Structure 1
């Protein structure tokens, strides 16, 4: 498996991101799904990666810089056919390493609370993320949860 920066112009990546958005919105109350679309992932301060095995897309993930020392994990999604193979963990470790390399000392994320999101929450917890309060422009609600990791 190789993780490469970019890929937002590849139709396979666009399709996987479409699946990610559709599932996030289907499993979250209206107005509480904060997954980024293509234009959001192209915004300044966001770095996007895609994971590949030969020509097969395995997953995606992104890092949004909130401040010089604080980043947010965004748009983590593993292709259905590649699940249970460690792709999500590899992508998360890559994002964590990139955050450290750019001087970030904290990573945070927002995710949903429904059963659909629980495997992702378990992944984040296995990598040291713990509950925290809302950050950035997020407003706390029963529809979302916030996790953070000290990278220092």
Structure 2
């Protein structure tokens, strides 16, 4: 399957649909107070860059965001692929593009927070195949037991 990935505004219907589907998937897996979701409006802030994966027909089939925290630190946020393309490595392609974008921006470390409950295994596989390593709590996230944290050093 041919996939094109580009920087796009999150303020579009296709992104709103993916955000709603991602939120609906995560809601039953983790208590609400331990979910740290960016809204579409927060994804449009200047410190966040949104990548959209589109299939050969131009349909949005995945998304990922990079939040620049300054000081060389970036955070992977809002990774999602549509159910019909899962298993086709769209998530891996998005993660590689996030890493390339982080390098272009001069970031030297990427971190992310994801769920620690059953149901998050596909995300763990994507991150681990992408070279991310489990680490302790990052940024201002609580070490609640409901989150799993990953990091990747970009300095070679």
**Considering the TM-score relative to the shorter chain, is it more than 0.5?**
yes
Distance across 1 between alignment mates of 2:113 and 2:72:
18
Compute the TM-score of the two structures, normalised by the length of structure 2.
Answer: 0.93
Partner residue in 2 for 1:125: 128
How many residues align structurally? 152
Q: Residue 150 of structure 1: CA displacement? A: 0.6
Partner residue in 2 for 1:91: 94
Structure 1 stretches of at least 4 aligned residues deviating more than 4 Å after TM superposition: none
Please point out which of 100, 103, 112 is paired with 1:100. 103
Q: Residue 26 of structure 1: CA displacement? A: 2.1
Matching of residue 151 in structure 1 with residue 126 in structure 2: no
Matching of residue 16 in structure 1 with residue 22 in structure 2: no
Compute the TM-score of the two structures, normalised by the length of structure 1.
Answer: 0.95
Q: Residue 126 of structure 1: CA displacement? A: 1.0
Q: How does 1:3-152 map to 2 (within 5 A)?
A: 3-53=5-55, 54-152=57-155
Q: Residue 12 of structure 1: CA displacement? A: 1.9
What value does the CA root-mean-square deviation take over the aligned residues? 1.1
Bigger shift: residues 27-36 or 93-102: 27-36
Q: Residue 109 of structure 1: CA displacement? A: 0.3
What SS does structure 2 have at the residue aligned with 1:26? coil
Q: Which segments of 5 or more consecutive residues in structure 2 lack a partner in the other structure?
A: none
